[in-house]
Amino acid sequence: MIRIILLGPPGSGKGTQADFLEKKYGFPKISTGDLLRQAVQKKTSLGQKAKVFMDRGDLVSDDIVNDMIKERASQADCRNGYILDGFPRNINQALQLEKIDGVYGEIALDIRLSNQTLIKRLSARRVCSNSTCGATYNLLARYPKSEGLCDACGGKLIQRPDDKPEVIQERLRVYNLQTEPLVDYYKKKRIYHSVDGEGEIETVFKEICAILNRENTGICKAEVV
């Protein structure tokens, strides 16, 4: 089983790259942010608890996300591997992840870019409000065909509450404090690779695929297209 860990601050394009990887290799993407947003939309008790933290740009408790990952990664579609988007976000979560058995290949890809670009991107991000769709757009690069509406399902496009300027600053602060230490952690494990995230989405994806090929993770045998 292969585990691809996507690191990178909010706005680095992890989610989009995870979608591309899912399509190319057929491994499911597991996004803790998406799972949490679904719980918020459904107004479950977990969702209501998590919303308070998410809305102010802080991390939700490790217990919540660790359980989510354990549960999701044990499902049948993850049998051959999975792509993690937004998990782990601190050392404790990384340690929990290692308790999930059966993984023989693991690689951490860290999408890096300047704070200036991140803030510009996050401020321009719009998402589909339809919870079963969740498509993402960017008013600077990937804009929808009709203003304010999702190309895929026609749903209304909205700004995520945590993409508001004051919350963006907090999310970047939390990333530097809690998630950045994972760089050294994965360097020590010798599975760390940095990726230049400043370029076009397709260029970044090419770089990621080149790393996966070069590192001989076994993932390329799984290519779907």
The packing angle between helices 14-25 and 201-214, to 10°, is 60
**Rounded Cα–Cα distance for residues 117 and 122 (Å):** 9
Clarify whether 171 is annotated catalytic.
Answer: yes
Check residue 60 for interaction with ligand AMP (CB under 6 A): yes
Hey, how many other C-beta atoms are within 10 angstroms of the C-beta on 75?
A: 11
Q: Output the smallest distance, CB 25 to ligand AMP, in A.
A: 21
Spatial separation of the C-alpha atoms in residues 113 and 215, rounded to whole Å: 23
Is 143 among the residues that bind ligand AMP (CB under 6 A)? no
Rule CB under 6 A: choose which of 19, 22, 110, 162 binds ligand AMP: 162
**Does the active-site annotation cover 14?**
yes
Which of 87, 186, 192, 205: binder of ligand AMP (CB under 6 A)? 87
For residue 133, the number of C-alpha atoms closer than 13 Å in the C-beta half-sphere is 18
Q: Which of 132, 113, 135 is nearest to 200 (CA)?
A: 113
Kindly tell me which residue out of 5, 59, 157, 212 binds ligand AMP, with binding defined by CB under 6 A: 59
Q: How many helices (H) and strands (E) does the chain have?
A: 9, 8
Binder among 3, 24, 72, 89 for ligand AMP (CB under 6 A): 89
State the minimum distance, in angstroms, from the CB of residue 199 to ligand AMP.
Answer: 21
Which residue number has the CB closest to ligand AMP? Answer: 33
| DSSP label at residue 156 | B
**Cβ nearer to ligand AMP, comparing 114 with 146:** 114
Is residue 125 part of the contact set for ligand AMP (CB under 6 A)? no
**Max alpha carbon distance in the chain (Å)?**
47
Asked about 142 being catalytic, the answer comes back as no
Residues found near ligand AMP in the complex (CB under 6 A): 10, 32-33, 36, 53-54, 57-60, 65, 86-87, 89, 93, 162, 171
